[in-house]
């Protein structure tokens, strides 16, 4: 019997091909996925059995980062590029728990993310979801909805979580970040999480190589970069303590649930400030 969810897919969604957003959502226990997504997710789990822990660690990292930016860094507006499917603790919810009135622009190019986002994330006149791609930074910044909510005279929290590793080397992810940060004022912050190939951990590195091969075969994207390559995304910025670290190690919270495993070593995150 055909999967009933296939029938509910928006017309522009190709359900025969897996989507990074939907595979990530599957790892978090989400239901908005299709057979192609589940096939790829199960193959990922054969390589990285604790991949769901890495996905959870990424979500918890985002929560801690947004809470820090809103509660301690004084940021009141956020640009979340590559938002993915809505789930618990969305950026506007976390930010407003610390700073009511915070404004958030969500950005993605996946049609199903846009459909769900417009229903669940664009909840009032202080949130919006914009169709955009990190490969075209100026189009994101100059979108009318972005300019409506984001005051380029005030600090911005730029979130690029789980995005840059889906850009190829020739697309110059560090250069794209630099172009985005050049449009934002001093006091703005950049948060990045990125797949990591840990050369000093052979078993985790082996998983990273195998996962990268699978991603390229199935998605045509996915780079597990070295620490130095990821650090290049923060060039010209002040990297905040504790630096670029495995996600659970960035200012951990007593409520964190992600369990350590090999995947602990294969995703790094950090936050930097534009001075």
How confident is the model over 187-214, as a mean pLDDT?
A: 96
Domain 51-273 CATH class label = alpha beta
Largest CA distance in the chain: 57
- Is 115 a residue whose pLDDT tops 80? yes
pLDDT score at 229 = 98
- Is 15 a residue whose pLDDT tops 90? no
**What would the two tokens of residue 66 be?**
């947004």
pLDDT score at 215 = 95
Q: Produce one character per residue of 139-167: b if its CB has 16 or more CB atoms within 10 Å, e if not.
A: ebbebebbeebbeeeebbbbbbbbbbbbb
Closest to 217 in 3D by CA, of 13, 47, 34: 47
Q: Band of the pLDDT at 9, cuts 50, 70, 90?
A: low
Count other Cβ atoms within 10 Å, centred on residue 229. Answer: 18
pLDDT score at 2 = 39
CA angle 58/262/30 to nearest 5° reads: 40
How confident is the model over 77-98, as a mean pLDDT?
A: 93
How confident is the model over 252-264, as a mean pLDDT?
A: 92
Whether cis (ω within 30° of 0) applies to the bond prior to 242 is: yes
Give me the percent of the chain exceeding a pLDDT of 70: 96
29 φψ region: left (φ > 0), alpha (ψ -120 to 50), beta (else): left
pLDDT score at 74 = 97
Q: What is the pLDDT of residues 32-80, one digit of tens each?
A: 899 999 999 999 999 999 999 999 999 999 999 999 999 999 999 999 9
Alpha helices (runs of H) in the chain, residue ranges in sequence order: 4-7, 20-27, 35-47, 51-71, 91-98, 111-120, 137-142, 144-149, 173-182, 202-218, 227-231
Q: What is the pLDDT of residues 117-137, one digit of tens each?
A: 888 888 899 999 999 999 999
Which secondary-structure segment (H or E) carries 107?
strand 103-108
- Is 6 a residue whose pLDDT tops 80? no
Q: What is the pLDDT of residues 202-222, one digit of tens each?
A: 999 999 999 999 999 999 999
- Is 4 a residue whose pLDDT tops 50? no
- Is 182 a residue whose pLDDT tops 60? yes
Alpha-carbon distances, residue 142 vs 121, 184, 266 (angstroms): 20, 12, 34
Q: What is the pLDDT of residues 145-178, one digit of tens each?
A: 999 999 999 999 999 999 999 999 999 999 999 9
Q: Band of the pLDDT at 273, cuts 50, 70, 90?
A: very high
End-to-end C-alpha distance for the chain, whole angstroms: 57
Phi, psi of 215, deg, nearest 5? -60, -40
- Regarding predicted confidence, which is higher, 57 or 85? 57
């Amino acid at each position: 019997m055909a999967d009933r969810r296939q029938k509910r897919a928006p017309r522009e969604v190709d359900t025969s091909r897996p989507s990074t957003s939907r595979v990530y959502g599957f790892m978090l226990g989400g239901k908005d996925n299709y057979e192609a997504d589940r096939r790829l997710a199960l193959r990922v789990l054969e390589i990285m059995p604790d991949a769901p822990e890495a996905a959870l660690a990424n979500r918890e990292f985002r929560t801690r980062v947004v809470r820090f930016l809103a509660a301690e860094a004084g940021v009141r507006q956020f640009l979340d590029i590559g938002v993915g499917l809505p789930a618990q603790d969305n950026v506007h919810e976390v930010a407003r728990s610390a700073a009511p009135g915070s404004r958030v622009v969500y950005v993605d190019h996946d049609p199903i993310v846009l459909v769900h986002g417009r229903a669940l994330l664009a909840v009032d006149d202080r949130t919006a979801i914009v169709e955009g791609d990190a490969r075209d930074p100026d189009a994101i910044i100059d979108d009318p909805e972005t300019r409506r909510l984001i005051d380029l005279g005030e600090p911005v929290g730029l979130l690029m979580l789980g995005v840059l590793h889906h850009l190829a080397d020739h697309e110059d992810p560090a250069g794209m970040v630099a172009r985005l940060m050049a449009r934002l004022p001093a006091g703005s912050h950049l948060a990045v999480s990125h797949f990591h190939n840990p050369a000093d951990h052979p078993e985790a590195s082996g998983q990273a190589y195998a996962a990268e091969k699978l991603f390229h075969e199935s998605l045509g994207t996915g780079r597990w970069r070295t620490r130095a390559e990821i650090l290049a995304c923060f060039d010209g910025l002040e990297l905040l303590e504790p630096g670029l670290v495995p996600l659970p190690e960035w200012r951990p919270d007593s409520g964190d649930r992600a369990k350590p495993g090999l995947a602990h070593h294969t995703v790094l995150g950090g936050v930097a400030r534009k001075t």
